[in-house]
């Protein structure tokens, strides 16, 4: 379906519907994190520069997602960039309204808390706004885009999926607690389980969007080039998230690594699922 | 590649708003992170009002953090004294008190605080 048949007068209205749809999506994808206590506290006390960096790094992810999925049937990079910033507005406005509605932010709340809390929620909300488009939006030319995107697109989707799931789980105290409870044997088992589940998700469980092994590649080749690389992406993004939220502060290298592997479990599944559904 | 001219005006409007929000947010955070001198919590406790509830008295207070550090598990102690003699003591905890923010709380006292000297002082906190 092409967007070019839209007539000019109705395009604003069409677009408003697209934005409303993005609001619905952002709401669905960000409510779990909007209603998680640790994210409010992190929003106000996490390192300001790390939060600023997270916001900045989120932008290329949004542009990439908008490019491949799109609010509207965005096709070129400029449209995708505009859509990425629209997703930011949608997420910021929604987070502000919901947090105010829930009494987390009040009129007597200081500006630091307003900015910090909303900024943190905007990261997952904006990704959610764009993801929702791919799940609830009208069919577009995304399949064509996927094919031309090649393996770069596959890696990008895995990174986006890992980012979304790890951003949802990293703020919780449970990641630290689980890392403390696990022995090195647990960690090795979890690593193996992450890789197995990741591979099964994409190649074996017959989900919609299941990938077929390309002709001429072996099971191990596919495993090494996508599953293992995908897992490394998931671990790296998990580590970045933990560092952003100050989870590594004062921790030994071993403890930090342990935490990264714990968070990489959901991140890996997010990465695998993203390859299927996006 | 001829799309940009078809882009709805609303899209441009929201997009520019998004860019402005991002720049404002990142600048604010970066300013806070770089330029803000680290000053430990400077607390100002103000008694708001005193209520009689059953056979107790509730002193509602507000505590404002004028410092630039966020405090967690802030512990406040209230003391009721008559000259040098301590009549009663009570405690209150505030979970989080960010920089330049205010939180409210209350302490329960059995003696009427209006008849004695009341002091509410911060006692300790944790870095979040």
Q: Is A87 on the interface with B (CB under 8 A)?
A: yes
Q: CB–CB of B18 and A108 under 8 A? A: no
B97 and B64 in a common domain: yes
B76 and B25 in a common domain: no
Strand segments (E) across chain B: 43-53, 56-65, 71-82, 85-97, 102-109, 117-126
Q: Which residues of chain A neighbour B33 with C-beta distances below 8 Å?
A: 47-49, 52
B60 and B105 in a common domain: yes
| Number of domains observed in the structure of chain B | 2
> pLDDT (tens digit, 9 = 90+) per residue, A69-112?
755 555 688 888 988 999 999 999 999 999 999 999 988 778 88
B85: domain range? 43-126
User: CB contacts < 8 Å between A and B, how many?
Assistant: 114
Alpha helices in A36-76 (DSSP H): 37-45, 48-68
> pLDDT (tens digit, 9 = 90+) per residue, A112-146?
889 999 999 999 899 988 887 666 555 545 454 55
Q: Is A115 on the interface with B (CB under 8 A)?
A: yes
For residue B58, the distance in angstroms to the closest alpha carbon of chain A comes to 22
> pLDDT (tens digit, 9 = 90+) per residue, A215-261?
667 778 778 878 899 999 999 999 999 999 999 988 888 889 999 99
Q: How confident is the model at residue A4 (pLDDT cuts 50, 70, 90)?
A: very low
CA distances from A204 to A68, A155, A200, A213, B122 (A): 25, 19, 5, 10, 60
Residue B1 lies in a domain: no
Please, what sign has the CA dihedral across residues B22, B26, B29, B35?
A: negative
B26 and B69 in a common domain: no
B28 and B88 in a common domain: no
Give me A252's structure tokens: 């030994």
- Alpha-carbon distance of A121 to A44, in angstroms, equals 11
> pLDDT (tens digit, 9 = 90+) per residue, A164-194?
999 999 999 899 889 988 988 999 999 999 9
Residue of A nearest to B24 (CA): A115
For residue B101, the distance in angstroms to the closest alpha carbon of chain A comes to 5
- Residue A125 near residue A91, CB atoms below 8 Å: yes
A55, A81, A86 member nearest B14 (Cβ) = A86
pTM of the model: 0.79
B116 and B62 in a common domain: yes
B17 and B53 in a common domain: no
B109 and B73 in a common domain: yes
| Confidence (pLDDT) at A158 | 92
Beta bridge partners of B93: B75
The residues, any chain, with a CB within 8 Å of residue A114's CB and separated by 6 or more, are A96, A105
Residue B116 lies in a domain: yes
**Closest residue by Cα to residue A42 from A100, A89, A104:** A104
């Amino acid at each position: 379906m092409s967007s070019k048949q839209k007539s000019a007068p109705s395009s604003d209205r069409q677009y408003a519907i697209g934005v409303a749809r993005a609001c619905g999506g952002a709401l669905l994808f960000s409510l779990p994190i909007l209603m998680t206590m640790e994210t409010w506290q992190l929003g106000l006390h996490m390192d300001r520069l790390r939060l600023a960096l997270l916001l900045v790094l989120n932008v290329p992810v949004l542009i990439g997602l908008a490019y491949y999925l799109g609010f509207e049937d965005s096709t070129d990079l400029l449209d995708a960039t505009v859509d990425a910033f629209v997703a930011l507005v949608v997420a910021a406005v929604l987070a502000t309204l919901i947090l105010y509605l829930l009494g987390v932010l009040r009129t007597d709340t200081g500006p630091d808390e307003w900015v910090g809390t909303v900024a943190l929620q905007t990261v997952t909300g904006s990704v959610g706004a764009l993801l929702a488009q791919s799940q609830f939006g009208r069919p577009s030319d995304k399949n064509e885009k996927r094919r031309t995107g090649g393996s770069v697109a596959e890696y990008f989707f895995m990174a986006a999926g890992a980012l979304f799931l790890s951003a949802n789980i990293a703020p919780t105290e449970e990641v630290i607690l689980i890392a403390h409870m696990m022995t090195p044997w647990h960690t090795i088992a979890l690593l193996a389980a992450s890789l197995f589940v990741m591979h099964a998700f994409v190649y074996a469980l017959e989900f919609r969007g299941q990938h077929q092994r390309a002709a001429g590649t072996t099971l191990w080749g596919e495993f090494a080039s996508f599953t293992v690389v995908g897992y490394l992406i998931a671990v790296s993004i998990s580590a970045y998230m933990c560092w952003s939220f100050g989870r590594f502060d004062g921790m030994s290298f071993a403890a930090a690594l342990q935490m990264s592997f714990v968070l990489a479990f959901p991140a890996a599944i997010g990465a695998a699922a993203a390859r299927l559904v996006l | 590649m001829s799309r940009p001219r078809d882009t709805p005006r609303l899209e441009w409007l929201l997009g520019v708003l998004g860019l402005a929000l991002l720049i404002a947010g990142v600048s604010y955070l970066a300013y806070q992170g770089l330029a803000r001198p680290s000053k430990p919590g400077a607390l100002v406790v103000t008694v708001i009002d005193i209520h009689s509830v059953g056979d107790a008295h509730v002193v509602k207070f507000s505590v404002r953090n004028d410092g630039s550090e966020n405090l967690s598990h802030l512990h406040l102690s209230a003391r009721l004294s008559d000259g040098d003699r301590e009549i009663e003591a009570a405690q209150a905890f505030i979970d989080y008190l960010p920089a330049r923010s205010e939180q409210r709380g209350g302490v329960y006292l059995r003696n009427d605080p209006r008849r004695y000297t009341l002091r509410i002082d911060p006692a300790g906190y944790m870095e979040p």
